Amino acid sequence: MGRNVFHHLLRPEIRAANREEVVSIDRAIVEAGLILVGLSASALAEAPATVPISTFGTPGLIDMPTGEMLSDGALISSISRHDSSQRYNLTFQLTPRLYGTFRYAIIDNFDGNGGARYDRSFDVGYLLTEESLNWPSIVIGLRDFGGTGAYASEFIAGTKHFLDHRLAVTGGIGWGRLGSYGGFQNPLSVFSNRFKTRSENALSHGRDTGQLDFDQWFRGDAALFGGLSYKITPNLTLKAEYSSDAYEVEGANAGFTHQTPFNFGLTYSSRYANLSAYLLHGSEIGILASFITDPKRAAIPGGIEAAPPTIIPAAFRRAQGWEGHSADQGKARLTQALRDQGLILEGVSLSGPEATLRLINTRYRAASQALGRAARVAANTLPSSITTFHIELVRHGMALSRSSLRRQDLEELEYDLDGAWKSFARTSISEAGGTAIPPVTETYPLFDWSLTPYLEPELFDPDNPVRADLGLQAFASFEPVRGLVFSGALRQRAFGNLNTSTRPSNSKLPHVRTDITEYAKQSDLQIKHLTGEYFFRPGPDLYGRLSAGYFETMYGGLSGEVLWKPVEGPLALGAEINYARQRNFDQLFGFQRRDVVTGHVSAYYDFGGGYLGQLDAGRYLAGDWGATVSFDREFNNGFRVGAYFTLTDVPFDTFGEGSFDKGIRFDIPITWLVGAPARSGFSTTIRPVQRDGGARLEVRNRLYDLIRDSHMTELEDGWGRFWR
């Protein structure tokens, strides 16, 4: 019931499909890659954007917001610039009614000291009402909340379309900076006198940073704003607005001249990008470029994987499989046929009319696609007397789920127009691992390696927006027996400037993260991770992990985790405990003296429709206690966007700049980028600032994302790829 209600409230247009474990080749690799995706993947947009984008990266005219939403799931990256400021924005339409924005701005002489302000902030907008015949769409929003307050403001905006959507008329009311020109007494003061004034802190533009000033929102003077946009042609739009932003600080400190409240702009919209030029307050000319990415559409939507095997008619099956051959020959044919499909046979058992196969999926992001290919291989190679196939997917030695299919159904539905849904309805999915299955002795040991270039950028630093290193990385993984994994990554830096950071840590807490720049200065040869891991099933619906070694750039130690997650059901519960010790700055062998015990209990919930929630409560690296709340949206191709925040017992003033840890994160499957089947992908987290409070140990292969893709919800959501 709860799942259905939540699903209805968010009104998602799609259901999320199976998500593979996103293997972070390196978090930092993708911090740069993410920007490239925002630019290059904009080609996925099939038509010019119908919603204009403001210089703040949100739906808007020029500087002013509108009462509009982006298309559901849209990801907009934009860059705007005029004489005194640059803004780099990333906006995501999280639900049909809710968007969020991360912004990095460079504002010249904002503080009056001759230098530039490197400012990081968040926006959010919520659709109150949709546009109807007689009523505009209305959005309520916050601009620059949880940041320094340089752009802090709130607004309510309404937009109505006319002339077959060629003309859009917007009107609204703003507070904060959006109430600084033509302001009047706050109309909300009729409810309480507290709405009449906005405190000096709220007007200080950065004296207090990172806090959510609930008691300042919609306070102080208000002002009206409005504007028009008109599509001259399908690709060309003229915009004009009356702005309620007086640019007071820029006028006082940066020489900005506010001659008029009227702004004018012209936007050219192509299939790939929107380009705008505008005149700001009669004194400055600016430009804006925005790029539209649709995460629901892969760069190569059809994919470029090899065609699946077709089911061979019974009359021709004898020569292909077990029949007419010894058991060993039949097993060898089965093993090779599965390997040709990117599947490793770990165990096989034949009993009467049933066969059970345990498989390692090395190729497909969607576990359902691996099941579909395995089922067809089994139908083609196993004796005709086998009428039922039980296929268990295995990850690092753990059997994750058991899917039971009938040969008759496979033969009947292979070319059925509704074969995907019908085959899912006829498949039984249950708990795995309860039956002893003879192992295939040739499976282990497993070995994998790679040698690739790497790019490690550092973006949005408070002193420098871009730093990066480039070099070569060697990776190797060795599984001698089922469940035991040894892996490591070694890097050799070629050139870069990560080691040029001169920003010293001023943290009042133990420097568990703020000394990160020291690790870029000591050595060009670095061990990024070197671990041994053991995975096991302690009981029904239970999964376990033990890890030891160098986990990440800054820490190594010991880690243990247990997860309870039924194959069916949206809820999972886990517990993790770690002993962590800080590594030497050279990232080779050796530790420093500081050590700490950390641990968390975690709850995971799949709300349906691709919306995932997570709560982690426990002890962090600085010894602080608290909790992290995360919320993600995942699309049917594995592309995932989310946000999180952490609150601990560290006071905001002690935490320092930012007040508490928060950020946005992305998981981008390689399949989404190149179309070829692959289980790996890129992941990154973007924070306004990295501090020491609320910092969690980074451990590879945490269990929830390792196993979730092979359970009921993910299999159902991704079953459309069963016949691919």
Closest CA to 490 of 451, 542, 517, 546: 451
Q: Which residue has the tokens 């696609």?
A: 369
Residue 457's pLDDT is what?
78
DSSP states along 314-360? HHHHTTTSSTTS-HHHHHHHHHHHHHHTTEEEEEEEEETTEEEEEEE
Least confident range from 87-91, 113-117, 421-425: namely 113-117
- Check residues 115 and 408 and name the one with the higher pLDDT: 408
Identify residue 594 by its one-letter amino acid code. Answer: R
Domain interval for residue 196: 46-293
Residue 440's pLDDT is what?
86
What gap in Å lies between CA 352 and CA 345, rounded to an integer? Answer: 20
Confidence tier at 200 by pLDDT (50, 70, 90): low
Angle (deg, nearest 10), helices 367-381 and 327-340: 150
What gap in Å lies between CA 637 and CA 369, rounded to an integer? Answer: 12
What gap in Å lies between CA 473 and CA 527, rounded to an integer? Answer: 10
Helix, strand, coil share (%) of the chain residues, nearest 5:
20, 45, 40
Confidence tier at 324 by pLDDT (50, 70, 90): low
Least confident range from 429-438, 498-507, 608-617, 631-640: namely 498-507
Residue 459's pLDDT is what?
73
The C-alpha angle with vertex 685 and arms to 626 and 651, in degrees rounded to 5, equals 30
Least confident range from 66-70, 80-84, 499-503, 547-551: namely 499-503
Residue 282 lies in a domain: yes
Residue 9's pLDDT is what?
36
Domain CATH for 166:
2.40.160.40
Q: Answer yes or no: is pLDDT of 48 > 70.
A: no
pLDDT tens digits for range 674-688: 878 888 888 888 888
**Cβ(700)–Cβ(551) below 8 Å:** yes
Count of domains in the chain? 1
Average pLDDT of the residues in 177-202: 88
Residue 554 lies in a domain: no
Q: Which residue has the tokens 């690799």?
A: 29
Residue 16's pLDDT is what?
32
Question: What does the DSSP 8-state code read for residue 276?
Answer: E
Q: Answer yes or no: is pLDDT of 64 > 90.
A: yes
Q: Answer yes or no: is pLDDT of 468 > 80.
A: yes
3-state secondary structure of 432: coil
What gap in Å lies between CA 193 and CA 214, rounded to an integer? Answer: 16
Q: Answer yes or no: is pLDDT of 321 > 70.
A: no
Residue 160 lies in a domain: yes
Residue 269 lies in a domain: yes
**Cα 392 → chain centroid:** 29
Residue 315's pLDDT is what?
66
Q: At 1, list the tokens.
A: 């019931």
Q: What is the mean pLDDT of the chain?
A: 86
Backbone φ and ψ of 478, nearest 5°: -135, 125
What gap in Å lies between CA 565 and CA 707, rounded to an integer? Answer: 9
217 conformational bin, left if phi > 0, alpha if psi -120 to 50, beta if neither: beta
pTM, entire model: 0.87
- Give the number of other CB atoms < 10 A from CB of residue 63: 25
710 conformational bin, left if phi > 0, alpha if psi -120 to 50, beta if neither: alpha
pLDDT tens digits for range 85-114: 899 999 999 999 999 999 999 888 777 676
What gap in Å lies between CA 27 and CA 449, rounded to an integer? Answer: 19
As to burial, measured by CB atoms within 10 angstroms (0-12 exposed, 13-18 middle, 19+ buried), residue 82 is buried
Neighbouring residues of 532: CB distance < 8 A, sequence distance ≥ 6: 484, 485, 486, 547, 548, 549
Confidence tier at 8 by pLDDT (50, 70, 90): very low
Residue 553 lies in a domain: no
